[in-house]
Structure 1
Amino acid sequence: MTNDSTSTFRAGQTGLIVRIPEAEPAVRAWRERLDPSARAGVPAHVTVLFPFLDESRIDALVHAALADVLSTHRAFDLRFETCGRFPEALYLTPEPDAPLRRLTEAIAARWPEAPPYGGRFAEVVPHLTIAQGQEDAVLQDIEADLIGRLPLTSHVASVELLVHDGSKWHVRASFALGG
Structure 2
Amino acid sequence: MADDNTSSLQAGRTGLIARIPDAEPAVSAWRERFDPSAREGVPAHVTVLFPFLDENRIDAHVRSILTAVIGRQHAFDLLFESCERFPGVLYLAPVPDAQVRQLTEEITARWPEAPPYGGKLSEVVPHLTIADGPDDTVLDEIETSILPHLPIASRVSSVDLMVHDGARWQTRVSFPLLE
Q: Which TM-score applies when normalising by structure 2?
A: 0.98
Give the equivalent residue in structure 2 for 1:101. 101
- 1:72 Cα deviation after fit: 1.5
CA distance in 1, matches of 2:128, 2:18: 10
- Aligned counterparts, 1:60-75, within 5 A: 60-75=60-75
3-state DSSP of counterpart to 1:147: helix
Identical counterparts, % of pairs: 64
1: CA distance, partners of 2:57 / 2:33: 33
> Which residue of structure 1 aligns with residue 147 of structure 2?
147
Identify the residue that residue 76 of structure 1 maps to in structure 2: 76
One-letter code aligned to 1:92: L
Which deviates more from structure 2 when the two are superposed, residues 84-93 or residues 3-12? 3-12
Query: Deviation of residue 2 (structure 1)?
Result: 1.7
| Structure 1 residue ranges (4+ consecutive) displaced by more than 2 angstroms after TM superposition | 3-8
**2:22 paired with 1:27:** no
Match of 2:132, as an amino acid? Q
1:63-92 CA deviation, whole Å, 9 max, x = no partner? 000000011211100000100100000000
Letter in 2 for 1:118: G
Shift in Å at residue 158 of structure 1?
0.4
Deviation at 1:110, TM superposition (A): 0.6
Q: In structure 2, give the amino acid aligned to 1:89.
A: V
Aligned to 2:119: 119
Deviation at 1:6, TM superposition (A): 6.0
Q: Which runs of 5+ in 1 are unaligned?
A: none
Structure 2 gaps, min length 5: none
Number of matched residues?
179
Alignment RMSD, CA only?
A: 0.9
Q: Which residue of 2 aligns with 1:86?
A: 86
Counterpart of 1:26, as a letter, is: A
Q: CA deviation at 1:7?
A: 4.3
